[in-house]
Amino acid sequence: MPLLTGFPDFSLHALVIVLVALLIVTPGCLERTSSITPSSPAATAETAPVRAEYSPGEIPALGAAAETRANASLNAIAALPPGERTFDATIVAFDTAMTDYTDAIFPMTLMGYVYPDHQVADEGMALEASSAVFLNDVYTRRGLYDALKGQVPRTPAESRFYNLTIRKFEKNGLNLPDDRLEKVRQMNDRLSGLTSRYSANLNNDNTTVTFSEADLAGVPESSLATFEKIPGGYRVTMKNPDYVAVMKYASSSATRKAMYLAYFNRQADENTALLEEAIAIRRNLSAELGYATWADYRIDGRMAGNATNVMAFLDAIKEPLQEKTRAENAELLLLKQELDPTATTLDPWDISYLQNIRMIRTYSYDENEVKEYFPVDTTLQGIFQIYGELFGIRITEVTGADVWSPDVSLYRVTNESDGATIGYLYLDLYPREGKYGHFATFPVINGRMKDGAWSVPVTAIVGNFPAPTDNRPGLLTPGDIETLFHESGHAMHNLLTTVPYGTVSGFNAEWDFVETPSQTLQEWTYDPDVLTSLSGHYANTSQKIPPSLRDRVIAARDVGSGYYYSTQLAKTLEDMEFHMADSTPDTQAVYARLYNEMTGLSLPEEIHQPASFSHLMGEYDAGYYGYLWSKVYALEIADTFTRDGMTNRTTGMRFRQEILAQGNIRDGGVLMENFLGREPGTGAFYRRLGIEGVAGAGNTS
């Protein structure tokens, strides 16, 4: 699944971020294995680095063909006589077979999240489910494991590559007797089916709420223009732009409550059951594999080491964040009482609305004014120019590209020094019926060495930014810009890799390190020079954001930060509690309790937040802590740029070479020490959270 933003939501493919080797189908492959021909015969590698058009029935056939080819390669490795089992003939050949497979299917599983034809999209989701079962089978093949085990690496990089490969087999039960191994395989297969159904349900969700014009008083005309007009009012979807507009601007508490309840009850019945069954299977699976809890199983081998370390990290920030949020809530309640003298408490659907009013009053600006200076295309080009300056690259749009929808664009990434193509980036940025409803970066092809040449990576950013209307382009708020930096940071991580092995290149990094590049680059949003460079009024792009308005944007950055980080911590603790419990929890009750503990607010009983917390069914199970954990590293890197300059080429190239290029071929801690010249500290992290009284909060290291 993709790498999500938290900005954070994902699945097998979305591992947006991202754990397994990624794949795609080329026209040549199709011609060799199927009578099906590419949709655009005249397409070149530049205009169609991956296939973007499918007819119903093609994806199942192509997926089956990819599995047949992979099985042939894997069986050949397992059948090698002991005397022929060299490192290249086994470990490297295994990586080639697995990445060939993912390169063949990931373009098609991506279609499950984005393709306009519902039948094709359903086939893409079905392929994601069947490919997960296939991969479960691969990593429980004893004959294959025996052929790989015991090879002698020749370099430190090969040693890590070998250990990661063998470890994945062993964490799938290869140390168990055959009867228990089969039990593990069956549980993993069931889990794969549950997670795919959960994701498909959310992708296909079409929940809407109907409001009258009076209900939507306060919502800007620019947002109303994007809602579906119906007799007497509007039909509003749960897509991000619609949800944010109502929650931030609707003056009616009843309207905001209706929207909040609809949003957090998407797929309530079915997805809650799917998640709770998955939690039970995970608990049984971890016990079968010899771990105390699923959290211990998942975190073993990651930077955090074990669940105890994670909980210590989270516990250290819990009370300071609660205090910060209580102080914010006291201010918001006073503001609410100005508007409604009968009010005695805050409700969850008040927060965005009141924070926006507070921001306007305190900093004298409205985001509706600010976003006029940040049309999507202008902002995007500004980000690409910054990346060009930092990383020595050029990002140019490919004209006439084959894409799955007319609002999708394709960009070619080249080295500034020699013009060599180093990757391709698809952008699918606007809401569409049946499309994945959040923000994520999908690996499509992983960079690697193949047949003696470099195979360039391909990545797709899928988003739901405000769409253009008849009289104005899509416009971005500062939060939207931060999200765009975040997702494009994931993309840079995947596109700038130099690791020769597909299963450990790009953002196939440790799960509690993978958010480091994305959370680093989102810090660029609030640099004054950067913000000015990105701006250009939609009616006259030469008109930059006025310095006084820009400075107020930056000053207002931390409005509501206590509530934001408290809700992040509540979701992190929710994930950990689900996966450390000794019985299947009442997921709805657990989240309601933790949300109340962290924010001081009470949720209505009918809220089913776990039913749409897609990270928990998209590879972030017992891993959501990674957003906060990797934030420590991200802010250390960002501090280095603050010191050296946010567009400093020397520091940017070090970041490219020491972090972005390295994939998982080195431990994340080693990468950080190499870049910083020291071990990372927590001082910058605690300063960003705005909390005191925590060990390390005053440190500069």
- Between CA 534 and CA 545 the distance in angstroms is 9
Longest alpha-carbon distance in the chain: 84
Q: How far apart are the C-alpha atoms of 283 and 342, rounded to whole Å? A: 47
Rounded to 5°, angle at Cα 193 from 303 and 3: 40
Answer yes or no: are the C-beta atoms of 188 and 285 closer than 8 Å: yes
How many whole angstroms separate alpha carbon 673 and alpha carbon 658?
10
Instruction: Using alpha carbons, select from 399, 428, 425, 457 the residue that is nearest to residue 111.
Output: 428
**Bridge partners of residue 157, in order along the sequence:** none
Supply the Cα-derived Rg of the chain in whole angstroms: 25
Percent of the chain that is helix, strand, coil (3-state, to 5): 55, 10, 35
Residues comprising the chain, all counted: 701
Judge whether 70 and 144 are in contact, CB under 8 Å.
Answer: no
Helices 118-138 and 93-114, interaxial angle, to 10°? 150
Residue 487 annotated to the active site: yes
Alpha-carbon distance values, 597 to 78, 570, 600, 615 (Å): 53, 8, 6, 21
Of 187, 134, 146, 151, the closest CA to residue 170 belongs to 146
Please give the Cα distance from 395 to 373 (Å, whole number). Answer: 22
32 burial type by CB count under 10 A (0-12 exposed, 13-18 middle, 19+ buried)? exposed
Joined together, the tokens standing for residue 293 give 């809890």
Residue whose entry in the numeric block shows the structure tokens 């705005």? 690
Q: Which of 624, 664, 649 is nearest to 494 (CA)?
A: 664
List the beta bridge partners of residue 616: none
The tokens of 393 are what? 């690259």
CA distances for 423 relative to 385, 488, 497, 604, 666, angstroms: 16, 13, 10, 47, 22
Which residues partner with 375 through β-bridges?
475
Strand ordering across the sheet containing 233-237: 208-212, 233-237, 228-230
How many other CB atoms are found less than 10 A from the CB of residue 438?
24
Contact 268, 608 (CB under 8 A): yes
Candidate list 58, 128, 487, 574, residue with the active-site label: 487
- The string of DSSP codes covering 280-342 is HHHHHHHHHTT-SSHHHHHHTTSTT-SHHHHHHHHHHHHHHHHHHHHHHHHHHHHHHHHH-TT
SS3 assignment for 422-460: EEEEEEECCCCCCCCCCCEEEEEECCEEECCEEECCEEE
Tally Cβ neighbours within 10 Å of residue 570.
22
Positions marked active-site: 487
